[in-house]
Amino acid sequence: MRTPVPDHLDDVLRECGAGGAEGEVAAYIPELAEADPALFALALCTIDGTVYAAGDAQHRFTIQSISKPFAYALALADRGFETVAEHVGVEPSGDAFNEISLEASGRPRNAMINIGAITAHALVGDASTTGEQRVERVVRGLSAFAGRELEVDEAVCASELGTASRNMALAYMVHAQGKLEGEPHEAVEGYIRQCSLLVDVRDLAVMAMTLAAGGRNPVTGEQVVPAWVCRQVLSVMATCGMYDAAGDWMSTVGIPAKSGVAGGVLGALPGQVGIGAFSPPLDEFGNSVRAVRACERLSSDMGLHLMQAPEVAAHVLYGVVEPDRDGDGVREVALQGPMHFAAAEVALRELEDVPEDGAALVLDLTRVTSTNDVGRRMLREGVRRLELDGHEVRVEDPDGHLER
**Where along the sequence are the contacts to ligand GLN (CB under 6 A)?**
64-65, 97-98, 114, 160, 167, 195, 260-261, 286
Q: 286 or 337, CB closer to ligand GLN?
A: 286
What CA–CA distance (Å, rounded) separates 49 from 42?
16
Q: Is 65 a catalytic residue?
A: yes
Torsion of CA 347, 352, 356, 360, to 10 degrees: 10
Minimum CB–partner distance for residue 128 and ligand GLN (Å)? 26
Q: What span, in angstroms and rounded, lies between the C-alpha atoms of 94 and 98?
A: 11
- Least distance (Å) from ligand GLN to the CB of residue 257? 13
Q: Is 128 a catalytic residue?
A: no
Catalytic residue among 12, 84, 138, 191: 191
CA-CA distance, 97 to 260, in Å (whole number)? 10
CB of 162 to ligand GLN, least distance (A): 13
Rg (CA), the chain: 25
Cα separation of 5 and 239, whole Å?
29
Find the catalytic residue in 12, 25, 84, 261.
Answer: 261
Smallest separation, CB 153 to ligand GLN (Å): 12
Among residues 218 and 286, whose Cβ is nearest to ligand GLN? 286
* Choice among 12, 51, 65, 72 that is catalytic: 65
The residue from 12, 25, 52, 68 that is catalytic is 68
C-alpha closest to that of 191 among 161, 150, 236: 161
Catalytic residue among 243, 273, 299, 316: 243
261 catalytic per annotation: yes
Compute the least distance from the CB of residue 159 to ligand GLN, in Å: 10
- Distance between CA atoms of residues 247 and 391, nearest Å: 52
- Complex with ligand GLN: residue 194 or 336, whichever CB lies closer: 194
Instruction: For ligand GLN, give the closer residue by CB, 98 or 143.
Output: 98
Q: Is 147 helix (H, G, I), strand (E, B) or coil?
A: coil
Q: Which is nearer to ligand GLN, 35 or 54 (CB)?
A: 35
Phi, psi of 335 (to 5 degrees): -105, 165
Rounding to the nearest 10 degrees, give the CA dihedral for residues 155, 158, 163, 168: 140
Active site residue 258: no
Nearer to ligand GLN, 45 or 266 (CB): 266
Exposure b/e, 37-55, CB count within 10 A at least 16 = b: bebbbbbbbbeebebbbbb
Whether residue 321 lies in the annotated active site: no
- Spatial contact of 64 and 280, defined as CB atoms under 8 Å apart: no
CA distance 401 to 404: 6
Residue 278 has phi, psi (to 5 degrees) of -155, 130
Q: Which residue is nearest to ligand GLN (CB)?
A: 65
Smallest distance, ligand GLN to C-beta of residue 283, A: 12
Catalytic residues: 65, 68, 191, 243, 261
